[in-house]
């Protein structure tokens, strides 16, 4: 019986479908009434965790580049690699470029979720 309860608890934790109740509200959207450059990231990560890659990209195109840049940056820091490497700076630049372009597209074409 105890094993069944533990399995149920673990499966409840892995149910990403109900994780949306823990999303943080955007203070910029709350105060100013329009999306910030990071709006949609949390929902995009949840869609990615559920395996919905297309929905994740539609919600926030910079999610995958951001997460890859984060892992690369933390990896270079943790393993004490060259943090001034050109490839790392290129990843950061590309991620920032995707954030800016997707935000401008969202604001210009009123593509708001």
pLDDT of residue 39: 93
Q: Is the pTM of this model over 0.85?
A: no
Structure-block tokens of residue 93: 């630049």
Contacts made by residues 93-99, CB under 8 angstroms, sequence distance 24+: 94/65, 94/69, 95/62, 95/65, 95/66, 95/68, 95/69, 98/61, 98/62, 98/65, 99/37, 99/38, 99/62, 99/66
pLDDT of residue 59: 94
- pLDDT tens digits in sequence order for the chain, 113 residues long: 555 555 555 555 556 667 778 889 999 999 999 899 999 999 999 999 999 999 999 999 999 999 999 999 999 999 999 988 999 999 999 999 999 999 999 999 876 55
pLDDT of residue 10: 54
């Amino acid at each position: 019986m105890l094993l069944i309860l533990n399995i149920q608890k673990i499966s409840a934790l892995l149910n990403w479908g109900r994780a949306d109740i823990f999303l943080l509200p955007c203070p910029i959207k709350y105060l100013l009434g329009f999306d910030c450059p990071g709006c949609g990231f949390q929902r995009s990560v949840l869609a990615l965790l559920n395996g919905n890659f297309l929905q994740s990209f539609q919600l926030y195109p910079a999610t995958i580049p951001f997460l890859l840049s984060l892992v690369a940056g933390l990896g270079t820091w943790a393993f004490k690699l060259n943090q001034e490497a050109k490839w790392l700076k290129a990843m950061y630049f590309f991620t920032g470029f995707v954030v800016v372009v997707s935000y401008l597209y969202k604001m210009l074409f009123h593509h708001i979720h």
